[in-house]
Structure 1
């Protein structure tokens, strides 16, 4: 249950961040409203995940996977190609998520 709720939170966070880009610094009303609603939903579901897992683990997964997915959206939708240091950093984030989920006893397993 914890991971399902956390994945929903991550999806809303990634959608919200995509609409943040589309809001053009809050000058476009509809993308700004969608962004705000997605962020509210994301924080709500993140708070629900905290019923089942520790704050540090939940936040690490939420932010780490959110970063990776947002980079993917940036590449596919916004044609933003990361440079080598960014790719290395993203690989380290993925590695951290794998270590937390695969080896840590602090997670919501």
Structure 2
């Protein structure tokens, strides 16, 4: 394995491009059928041994990210916010795979 740096600006660009693509397809929300999910804590995910599973919840993730974005941006809140953001990114991928991306309805057609 080769060590290297990943630029934050590239991650931001890639993430924004993916969300821009969803919005460009008319997707404006995610239908959440099951909010609880299994996850592996990030520290365990990078160990070579088998990780322990823990239960996560997308609504807890969303509320924590909302609170942490408004709060101080120190090392503690940053790792915690990104851990919860990963759960939200997983629900986007899950929804895309399972047809749970909701497209906006053009109200003009109904008028």
State whether TM-score is above 0.5. no
Shorter chain as denominator, the TM-score bin is 0.3 to 0.5
Q: Compare CA radii of gyration and give the structure with the larger one.
A: 2
Greater helix percent: which structure? 1
Greater strand percent: which structure? 2
TM-score (norm 1): 0.36
